[in-house]
Amino acid sequence: MKKIFSSDYQNGSLPMSLPAGAVITALLFLALPLTQILSEIASQDDDNKNKRIQVQPPPPPPPDIPEPPEEEDQEEEIEMEKEQQQLTLDQINMALNAGDGGMSAGGISVQIFDIADNFEDMIFEIADLDQPPVPIVQIAPVYPPELKRNRVQGTVNVVFIVDENGSVKRPSIEKSTNREFNENALKAVRQWKFEAGEKDGKKVKTRVRLPLAFTLRR
């Protein structure tokens, strides 16, 4: 007995495969534009990243360092300052020796009223005064016990300013035979009181120098 084989065409399977192939072909055509769109989106993301990186501002330039001034200019300024200071001292000396009028030297004129403005600030020597300071209160310095016990004697030269009120200002030691006497000498002088010296009818500051002797009776 012969077997009878039937083909797919006869069973109706061939017509069903045609729509399936059409669907697959359509999907492939749709996948191509989708792939292009995805690649464009990825490319745009890369461009945006690059733009964000490039937007960062560059670092600021280093500050300008000024060049140091030349030494010659500094030396010239120092010399000019010295000349100005010397000129001021010369003016003061000329004014002190001017008498009742004025005098000029080197094209500079100094009038006596310039000194009158600072008359109260000037310190005079006793020889320049019309009336020297007169002591009113003088406290004797205390003899250091140890030096007294050992019968040590000495002299302390003190210099100080007597102001317009007759008070002692800025006492200091000019010379001393034994510095252990110095402190007691200054303590005593600070308590002294004077009648202020006078110049041209005005009470003025006066520089006073005098020795204080530390002596013992035998």
Q: Hey, where are the domains in the chain?
A: 124-214
Q: Record the pTM.
A: 0.46
Highest mean pLDDT among 6-15, 75-84, 194-203: 194-203
Q: How far apart are CA 75 and CA 53, in angstroms?
A: 54
Q: Is the pLDDT of residue 37 over 70?
A: no
More confident residue, 104 or 33: 33
Averaged pLDDT for residues 117-141: 86
Q: Is the pLDDT of residue 76 over 60?
A: no
Q: Which class is 124-214 in CATH? A: alpha beta
CA 5, 9, 12, 16 torsion-angle sign = positive
Q: For residue 172, name the pLDDT band (cuts at 50, 70, 90).
A: very high
Highest mean pLDDT among 38-42, 113-117, 161-165: 161-165
Give burial (CB, 10 Å; 0-12/13-18/19+) of 173: middle
pLDDT in tens, 130-167: 999 999 999 999 999 999 999 999 999 999 999 999 99
More confident residue, 179 or 15: 179
Strand partners of residue 182? none
